[in-house]
Amino acid sequence: MKITLIKPSLGNVISGYNINDGSMEPLQLAIIAGLVKKPDEVIMYDDRLEPIPFDEKTDLVCITVDSFNAHRAYEISAEFKKRGVKVILGGMHVSLLPDEAVQYADSIVVGDAEPIWDQLINDAKQNKLQKTYSATFGLPQDGHFPDRSIFKGKKYLPISLMQFSRGCKFNCTFCSVSKFFKHSHKCRKIDDVLHEIEKDKLKTILFVDDNMVSNKKELKILLRELIPLKIKRASQSSIDMAKDKELLKLMVDSGCAGNLVGFESININNLATHVKLETYTILTCFLIINYTKKH
């Protein structure tokens, strides 16, 4: 079976796709490519970088969908369906709005691909695809590794995306992450993270965790292991990290080149109107750099 993976662009009414020379590698598609077992074949097209060859022969199309590219994803799906190719949709938007997404696909996946992938492919081979596959949130990428060979030859920014954890311990009312992960937070096995860095010789990494410091105890174990690897990395974390000096030092020592912190507001009166810590505007905070300067 030949499987075609697609990352949609934001869409462009004139050309159908939108060339963007600042695109990052779509990690979710590499994770899915890593689930594909031989003799099945996998190929990936990134609508942000290249035209999609709709007429190329394929048996199954898998599209990753966020809310900001859902419209374009549905257009792409319609093109393949017109040609008689089965289309599966998955990703954050599909999981949040399954009733909408299911109208534009043969099947949808709610949740992570890893737990349901083998069943989905078997069903596709027997022409018995179910309308909806739902995966519970287990350990992220438990023993599964991305196949980054799908990125070869495509002009991505020179930074590798990977994840240490999924979800967040906070419960900000407006946040799609807290909805998607049902307010839960789960870390990967640390050995899996280290193996992935070593296997793919990753040197500059963006940890895509929504809140890397959500489980400080586990993170400290990881950071200690990262120190000898001498990688450079960026991440996103909540400001409560600033209370933990040991954590800040480990962040610096393990190659932190930048960290994003979100602030709901820097106006104390605005903050007082909310009970929970919530994030509204994302500001880049040079907390780590300041800490390094002071120590």
**Interface residue list for ligand B12 (CB under 6 A):** 10, 23-28, 31-32, 62-64, 66-68, 88, 90-93, 96, 109, 112-114, 161, 163, 175-177, 208, 210
Rounded-to-integer distance, Cα 275 and Cα 152, Å: 47
- Which of ligand B12, ligand SF4, none binds 139 (CB below 5-8 Å, type-dependent)? none
Sign of CA dihedral 118, 75, 160, 175: negative
Least gap, CB of 148 to ligand SF4 (angstroms): 26
Least gap, CB of 269 to ligand B12 (angstroms): 26
Site string for ligand SF4, 189-228 (x = CB under 6 A): ---------------------xx-----------------
Which one of 238, 250, 254, 256 is in contact with ligand SF4 (CB under 6 A)?
238
Residues linked to residue 232 through DSSP beta bridges, in sequence order: 204
- Which of ligand SF4, ligand B12, none binds 262 (CB below 5-8 Å, type-dependent)? ligand SF4
Q: State the Rg of the chain over Cα.
A: 20
- Which of ligand B12, ligand SF4, none binds 162 (CB below 5-8 Å, type-dependent)? none
Q: Note whether 34 and 162 are within 8 A (CB).
A: no
What phi and psi, each to the nearest 5 degrees, are found at residue 17?
-140, 170
Interface positions, 152-181, toward ligand SF4 (CB under 6 A):
168, 170-172, 175, 177-178
Rounded-to-integer distance, Cα 131 and Cα 258, Å: 42
- Which of ligand SF4, ligand B12, none binds 58 (CB below 5-8 Å, type-dependent)? none
146 binds ligand SF4 (CB under 6 A): no
Rounded-to-integer distance, Cα 98 and Cα 45, Å: 24
- Cα separations (Å) of 181 from 98, 144, 175, 250? 15, 19, 10, 27
Rounded-to-integer distance, Cα 141 and Cα 33, Å: 13
Identify which of residues 231 and 292 has a Cβ nearer to ligand B12 in the complex.
Answer: 231
What phi and psi, each to the nearest 5 degrees, are found at residue 263?
-120, 130
Identify which of residues 49 and 292 has a Cβ nearer to ligand B12 in the complex.
Answer: 49
Structure tokens at 185: 């937070």
- Which of ligand B12, ligand SF4, none binds 8 (CB below 5-8 Å, type-dependent)? none
Minimal CA–CA distance to 9: which of 54, 63, 57, 60?
Answer: 63
Least gap, CB of 33 to ligand B12 (angstroms): 11
Residues that bind ligand SF4 (CB under 6 A): 168, 170-172, 175, 177-178, 210-211, 238, 262, 279
